[in-house]
Amino acid sequence: MHKFLALYEYVLKLASHAKAKYYLFFLSVSESSFFPIPPDVMLLPMCLANPSKAWRFALITTVGSVLGGIIGYLIGIYAFGFIEPYLYDWGYMPAYERAVMWFDEWGFWAVFIAGFSPIPYKIFTIAGGVMIMPILPFVSASIIGRGARFYLIALFVIMFGKQADELIRKHMGKLIWGAVILITLILFLFTT
């Protein structure tokens, strides 16, 4: 856990760098395919430091994350045998197996929910490739799910200013899981 804390602190330092938007893009790409630190930890301080660019930062994060998702998808198609031992070593195999089950049942919605929620999105991008999910629904769900998540952070910063950091840190888990439950209930009602 100490290594992840050091990575987290490093990412926070990058948020104030002159080339932070490039780091944000790279972090967004890498998190969606292999890196453990989500881009939210860099997006939030960047939006707080410059609220007038919050929408732009959300766009950069969304585009990078979707491109990273496509890389994860390609890893699933072409390199799953290589990364499978790492999924076991890093403790991601139960999440991967759950993702495969969700793909069998939900497809598009599994990617959307994983893109929006705190569920490791990278697991779903890889599973999407392994399951050879059609690429158009995969990309569409990624754009909607990831975009909703990152634009929500930008909206909070624009609406609440400096209070946004405290509110997001205090309630983000509840907000995201509440939205996931709401989406799941809506899906259940419309698909039965």
Q: How far apart are CA 83 and CA 75, in angstroms?
A: 8
Sequence-ordered list of residues with C-beta below 8 angstroms from that of 155, at least 6 positions apart, any chain: 54
Model-level pTM?
A: 0.77
Per-residue pLDDT at 129:
92
Domain ranges of the chain: 2-191
Taking CA atoms, 15 is separated from 41, 80, 120, 162, in Å, by: 9, 32, 22, 16
| pLDDT by 10s per residue, the chain, length 192 | 455 556 656 666 777 778 889 989 999 999 988 777 788 888 988 888 888 899 999 999 999 999 999 999 999 999 988 888 888 888 878 878 887 887 778 777 778 777 777 677 888 898 889 889 899 999 999 999 999 999 988 998 888 877 766 766 566 567 666 666 666 665 565 455
